């Protein structure tokens, strides 16, 4: 029986690239998304199952996992890819915006993982791969909600890796840098109504781009290849950094004192 990967947020970006790569490698692919009726490329591929799944809807999670198991009999790799970035002034964020960021990026990821683990325990093997970011290690200006959600993913994944290792189940974290996918297009901006923040907020994007302009950025296919490595390398390695800009920010934090790191980030 071929190996099977179950992917959330597979309609585009990392999720779709990963689905295409694993399908080419001969895997069974369960590609889940909120609007599967819009997906045509993946639907035309053999051994590929397109299913509706909203990570904030427990019923849709249970139904998708059940259908995947019914067709393929096993889930060897879970890729928790669904997520988005909420960027802007924290003080201006609504309670609904804050809740949704965590419902998707954190609680949704946890809910899908919890739904898949019984199958992996029964198999006595499996790999859970969670998409984080260099922003799960370092935190930047006007990214408090996105960064904190990815910090939560990092802590959850690291702790869960210890919990599941004795059961033969590995947990892996992917930490991409800036990648040209629809994630940036789909990034949600908090509308700011507090003028005190405007001078710094207006410089956000240009300042961020300038700091890593000299560094090579990863592509979505680079991220997919790293996900495939994490799924198949049969090691206890936990973190996989993708992109020179991601390595730059992580090194900035890990190789400097806290005072120096804060100074460099606030320049």
* Residues with active-site annotation: 132, 146, 150
3-state secondary structure of 198: helix
C-alpha closest to that of 1 among 42, 45, 47: 47
Quote the CA–CA distance of 124 and 128 in Å, as a whole number.
Answer: 13
3-state secondary structure of 241: strand
């Amino acid at each position: 029986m071929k190996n099977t990967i179950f992917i959330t947020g597979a309609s585009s970006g990392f999720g779709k690239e990963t689905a295409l790569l694993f399908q080419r490698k001969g895997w069974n692919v369960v590609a889940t998304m909120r609007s599967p009726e819009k997906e045509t490329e993946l639907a035309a591929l053999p051994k590929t199952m397109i299913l509706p799944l909203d990570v904030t809807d427990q019923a849709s999670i249970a139904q998708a996992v059940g259908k995947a198991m019914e067709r393929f009999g096993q889930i060897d790799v879970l890729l928790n890819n669904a997520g988005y970035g909420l960027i802007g002034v924290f003080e201006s964020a609504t309670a609904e915006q804050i809740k949704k960021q965590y419902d998707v990026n954190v609680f949704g990821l946890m809910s899908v993982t919890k739904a898949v683990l019984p199958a992996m325990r029964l198999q006595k093997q499996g790999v859970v791969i969670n998409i984080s970011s260099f922003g799960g290690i370092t935190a930047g200006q006007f990214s408090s909600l996105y960064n904190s959600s990815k910090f939560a993913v990092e802590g959850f994944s690291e702790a869960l890796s210890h919990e599941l290792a004795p059961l033969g189940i590995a947990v892996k974290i992917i930490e991409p840098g800036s990648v040209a996918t629809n994630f940036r297009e789909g990034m949600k901006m908090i509308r700011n109504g507090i003028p005190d923040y405007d001078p710094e907020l207006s410089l956000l994007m240009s300042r961020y781009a300038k700091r890593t302009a000299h560094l090579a950025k990863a592509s979505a296919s680079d991220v997919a290849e790293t996900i495939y490595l994490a799924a198949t390398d049969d090691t206890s390695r936990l973190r996989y950094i993708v992109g020179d800009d991601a390595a730059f920010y992580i090194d900035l934090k890990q190789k400097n004192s806290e005072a120096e790191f804060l100074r460099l980030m606030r320049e």
